[in-house]
Amino acid sequence: MDTDPVQLLSLNSYDLLGQLKSKKTGGTDITGATALQKIDFTYNIRGWLKGINDIGGLNTGENDLFAFSINYNDVPGNNVNDQVMPLFNGNIAETSWRSATDNVLRRYGYRYDQLNRLLNAYYQKPGSAISLTSSYDESAQYDKNGNITRMERSGEYDDEVYALAMDELEYFYDPVEKNRLLKVADHTNQPAGFKDSPDNDTDDYTYDGYGNMTADRNKGITSITYNHQNLPVEIVFGNLVNTKIRYLYEAAGKKVQKVVRQQVFDGSAIVTETTATDYLGGFHYAKGKLQHFPTAEGYVSVTYDKRNISLRYFNYVYQYKDHLGNVRLSYGAKPGTQTPEIMEESHYYPFRDAAPQL
């Protein structure tokens, strides 16, 4: 790009069944000889994904940064007093992962009800002194319509002994519109996790006649306005009219601009700060300058020389994703050495919320 060397996004190889067997990502050699990562994939006899790289140990010779595995009908981990069992109906019994950040093996074991709804997720660290740590467990209960009525989560501390009860959530639904969520109450006093509105006597969520949410008090959103396509055009936070987000769309409904207006302290007084982001086919612009754009394997961020803003640098970021499409790890080339470097790592609860401090 510009005068930069060509970058390898991915070089894929497939097995005899047409399944992705391995891919090489990154580097300036299109043959893959200098690729940042060689990622291997394995499948079971049904063609379901079983693993990404070797969960038993990262291949240091290939500089593996991440490994992930899925168990269906086998449970090599802790069965939690027979709560986590081998499954033969397609449900996932366990997921395991490790990264080069600390090379610690982590695992979730799952329990379901007879309707295949997830009831419990048991967090484990198999290589630690106490493998069943419970420090990031999650559980859920449901009503007859399948709506979540209670959810409990531990978190904040990845500790082998201590498990913090981070969330004890209770969900309330409209007695007339049975599946419409009105309120979520957190029965813990922990600042981490779900942010509950201090007003427990008022509904958290309100809706218009089309079912669009018009307020979310747990997030401090007092008003959401929609256009004729039921797309949000303005979100107002709190009682401050200058704290809002506005969206602009083209005729077909594709978002082309977001304007964030908020009040900030500039060191001497509270002023209104406005930031506009423009979107064009995946390309993101701020103040007329290109900021980043997506690729098949991640995205490219753009930085500018402070002394000469006409000079810009393209930084390729690659991503490991799990079977649900969650970004687990982002990496790029370390400046000067062109060796792989972890830029960001994320862990998730089974219901796909980010796990804090893990």
Q: Is 229 left (phi over 0), alpha (psi -120 to 50) or beta?
A: alpha
pLDDT at 241: 62
Going by C-alpha positions, the residue among 287, 317, 312 that lies closest to residue 302 is: 312
Most confident by average pLDDT, 10-14, 236-240, 280-284: 10-14
Residues 6+ apart with CB under 8 A from 252: none
Sign of torsion over alpha carbons 290, 292, 293, 296? positive
Q: Is the pTM of this model over 0.85?
A: yes
Q: How far is CA 273 from CA 234, 244, 278, in A?
A: 16, 11, 17
Residue 310 clears pLDDT 80, i.e. is over it: no
| Structure token digits, residue 95 | 């997921």
Whether residue 240 has pLDDT greater than 70: no
* pLDDT value of residue 189: 82
Domain regions of the chain by residue span: 141-206, 220-271
What is residue 2's predicted lDDT score, i.e. its pLDDT?
A: 66
* Top-confidence residue, 190 or 25: 25
DSSP state of 268: S
Q: Could you read off the pLDDT of 53-73 as tens digits, one per residue?
A: 999 888 777 889 999 999 999
